[in-house]
Structure 1
Amino acid sequence: MTPTLLLVLALALLVGVSLGLLGGGGSILTVPLLVHVAGLDAKEAIATSLFVVGVTSAVGVVGHARGGRVRWRTGVLFGAAGMAGAYAGGLLGGHLPDAVLLIAFAAMMIVTAAAMLRGRRTVRSEHAHRRLPVGRVLLDGAAVGLVTGLVGAGGGFLVVPALALLGGLPMPVAVGTSLLVIAMKSAAGFAGYLTTVPIDWTLTLAVTAAAVVGGLVGARLAERVPAAALSRVFAWFVLAMGALTLLQQAPADLRLPVAAALASLGAGAGLCYGLVPRCPLRRAVHGS
């Protein structure tokens, strides 16, 4: 086993831990891991990520189901619509240039990080058992599925808020149900890519096994680690990875100026957030 493969498997273990702890984030980390460490091209990395995250999520559903944290009807409805969107996204993604996919993926990372920093909304008790808006669930499921299938991301951190707000699910149930939805959408997206993208099955199965183990570990740690603090650290990391991916897609002669601009913007935002009590970033993040 080569040092590179060992590193890939170690990082895949951490991807699984993230998925088990946060109910999302698997693809956000898996695609950069496969591109930058394993050396896969964008299409193969996205397709492989869909398989890895799909299997890891499917395994995670079992534990949540035993704890009564899976709403099957809502999950199947949202997941079925998501599968249609994800399959279409996978078919489309197989024909797009790598640069376009990576830019779209980086944009999704930045949107995800912003959503995490803002925090998940708490569902009001009067909405917890309202009638399920089936049409809206199907429409949103298809839209989220299209994004997931196209760029291999946008799973848990889009699905969980949608389930909580549309289905009125309590957050622990929304997280458990999201794993069912992610598994369904990932399978459909992978099927779409499989028509045009070759898969290294040895690497794919090895990374999947490591991620599954990590997911089981993450599920156990979820009760001990403060989720809010972990989510914020993860969000800043995702934001940095998204900026790095965008930077790598810039023309060579523009990379230094763009890097300087991003560094200046990040430093200014950090100073504002940390030192200015009435900083607009605080209102954007905390909603107040």
Structure 2
Amino acid sequence: MEIFGYLAAVIIGLSLGLIGGGGSILAVPILVYLFHVPAEQATSYSLFIVGTTSMIGAYNHYRLGNLKLKSAFIFAVPSIVSVLIVRKYVLHLIPNNLFQIGAFEITKNILIMIVFAILMIATSLSMIKKTTVDQENATINYKMLATIGLVIGLIIGFLGAGGGFLIIPALLFFAKLPMKQAVGTSLFIIFINALIGFAGDVVTGMSLDVTLLLTITAIAIIGLVIGTQLSKKIDGKKLKPAFGWFVLVMGIYIITKEIFL
């Protein structure tokens, strides 16, 4: 199963390079189901893998002129605050065993995976649905952008998700960025949020399998390089619905496995 996990790690970077998000949607299930990392620990690993990969991707997009720093910082600053609050205080307050329904026990790990799957399904539907944003004569709503950043930071903190699948719609609709600029700016925001969240976990004493973490990260970076090169030739708008269907299937699989299998 680990061999499949390493092969799947390429897709983490590939999705980040192509559409500026989706890496964590793949990273957490890969870590949990193929490498048997506990769900809470997998959220921490995901932050490092996706954050490091996004850092390189953001630099590449900066060179291409696809990074809008003002929008990125207005979004990132409030989201960093909420990420740190959740990772440092809230997540550790949730007990490992929550409640029991008959013979079925709901644990923290199951809760994380189910919430993750629900979010995947909701996100996939928004990716599949065709939406258009009128960027001509558009006014950037910085206040709403900061508010959305705060809310998405809570989700990033709880799930260990980079949040690109939520950040990109926010940048499209509230910052009025074209798709390619939304991708580059999203990668920069993911990089800041994810690595600060991971640093918070390390400070609180999270145990790490450094070899596994660095190996998956290196493979994801290879996928990112491939994805970034492909993004120059392929329209991200066409890839988004296809990736949405893939995410939908993954979300349904996770719910089925956690509840019924």
TM-score, with length taken from structure 2 = 0.88
Distance 2:117 2:93 in 1: 18
User: Which residue is equivalent to 1:274?
Assistant: none
CA contact (8 A) 1:19 1:215 kept: yes
Matched, 1:239 2:236: no
Distance 2:170 2:154 in 1: 15
Distance 1:177 1:109 in 2: 21
Matched, 1:214 2:223: yes
CA contact (8 A) 1:81 1:142 kept: yes
Matched, 1:106 2:81: no
CA contact (8 A) 2:86 2:157 kept: yes
Question: Where do 5+ consecutive residues of structure 2 fail to align?
Answer: 95-107
Matched, 1:13 2:10: yes
**How many angstroms does 1:191 deviate by?**
3.0
Matched, 1:86 2:75: no
Amino acid at match of 1:93: L
Question: Where do 5+ consecutive residues of structure 1 fail to align?
Answer: 257-288
Query: Where do 1:157-168 residues align within 5 Å?
Result: 157-168=165-176
> How many percent of aligned residue pairs carry the same amino acid?
35
Query: Where do 1:84-233 residues align within 5 Å?
Result: 84-91=81-88, 92-96=90-94, 97-127=108-138, 130=139, 132-153=140-161, 155-194=163-202, 195=204, 197-233=206-242
Matched, 1:73 2:70: yes
Look at both structures and tell me which one has the larger radius of gyration over its CA atoms.
1
After superposition, the C-alpha distances for 1:124-177 in whole angstroms (9 at most, x for unaligned) are: 3110xx3x4333222111111110111122611211111122122222111111
Distance 1:184 1:213 in 2: 20
Amino acid at match of 1:150: F
Out of 38, 54, 57, which is 1:57 matched to? Answer: 54
Distance 1:157 1:117 in 2: 12
CA contact (8 A) 1:47 1:190 kept: yes
Give the direction of change, closer, same or farther, for the CA distance of 1:8–1:106 in structure 2 (3 Å limit).
same
CA contact (8 A) 1:41 1:98 kept: yes
**How many angstroms does 1:71 deviate by?**
0.8
Any idea what SS the aligned residue of 2:137 has? helix
Amino acid at match of 1:111: A
Matched, 1:32 2:29: yes
**How many angstroms does 1:229 deviate by?**
4.1
Amino acid at match of 2:120: M
Distance 2:236 2:164 in 1: 15
Point out the more displaced range, 80-89 or 192-201: 192-201
**How many angstroms does 1:57 deviate by?**
0.6
CA contact (8 A) 1:88 1:192 kept: no
Give the direction of change, closer, same or farther, for the CA distance of 1:183–1:120 in structure 2 (3 Å limit).
farther
CA contact (8 A) 2:47 2:162 kept: no
Point out the more displaced range, 67-76 or 92-101: 92-101
CA contact (8 A) 1:94 1:196 kept: no
**How many angstroms does 1:100 deviate by?**
1.3
Distance 1:39 1:213 in 2: 23
**How many angstroms does 1:106 deviate by?**
0.8
Give the direction of change, closer, same or farther, for the CA distance of 1:140–1:228 in structure 2 (3 Å limit).
closer
More relative contact order, 1 or 2 (CA 8 Å, 6+ apart): 2
**How many angstroms does 1:13 deviate by?**
1.1
**How many angstroms does 1:199 deviate by?**
1.7
Matched, 1:248 2:257: yes
Any idea what SS the aligned residue of 1:69 has? coil
Give the direction of change, closer, same or farther, for the CA distance of 1:109–1:60 in structure 2 (3 Å limit).
same
CA contact (8 A) 1:18 1:24 kept: yes
Any idea what SS the aligned residue of 2:133 has? coil
Distance 1:148 1:41 in 2: 17
